[in-house]
């Protein structure tokens, strides 16, 4: 009923998990967020556009948080099973 820090942690963990499992070939390219071979800005386009920042954020989450997320998810599952 109340929104505490525990629920906030679960929401953040679920959102990071959702970003980490996005498939570039199946999903991201279809909506225009895939990393292409020409990552440079087009003529008249800013280098730090919102779209490029989102693509970089998705790539960073998938690269840097893949292994730590496995451990965090295991800890949360064990916690929920034992103390539910």
Give the confidence band of 51 by pLDDT, cuts at 50, 70, 90.
confident
User: Is residue 16, in this structure, part of any structural domain at all?
Assistant: yes
Question: Domain count of the chain?
Answer: 1
User: Is residue 11, in this structure, part of any structural domain at all?
Assistant: yes
User: Is residue 57, in this structure, part of any structural domain at all?
Assistant: yes
User: Is residue 27, in this structure, part of any structural domain at all?
Assistant: yes
Which position has the higher pLDDT, 12 or 59?
12
Residue 58 sits in which domain range?
5-34+49-83
User: Is residue 53, in this structure, part of any structural domain at all?
Assistant: yes
User: Is residue 42, in this structure, part of any structural domain at all?
Assistant: no
Q: Report yes or no: 62 and 22 within 8 Å, Cβ to Cβ.
A: yes
pLDDT for 82 equals 94
Greatest extent of the chain over all pairs of C-alpha atoms, in Å:
57
Give yes or no for residue 1 having a pLDDT over 70: no
User: Is residue 70, in this structure, part of any structural domain at all?
Assistant: yes
Give yes or no for residue 84 having a pLDDT over 70: yes
pLDDT for 37 equals 43
């Amino acid at each position: 009923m109340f929104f505490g820090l525990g629920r906030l942690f679960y929401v953040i963990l679920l959102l990071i998990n959702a970003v980490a499992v996005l498939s570039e070939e199946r999903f991201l390219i279809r909506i225009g967020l895939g990393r292409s071979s020409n990552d440079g800005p087009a003529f008249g386009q800013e280098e730090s556009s919102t779209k490029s920042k989102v693509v970089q954020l998705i790539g960073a989450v998938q690269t840097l948080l893949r292994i730590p997320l496995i451990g965090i998810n295991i800890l949360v599952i064990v916690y929920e099973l034992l103390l539910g």
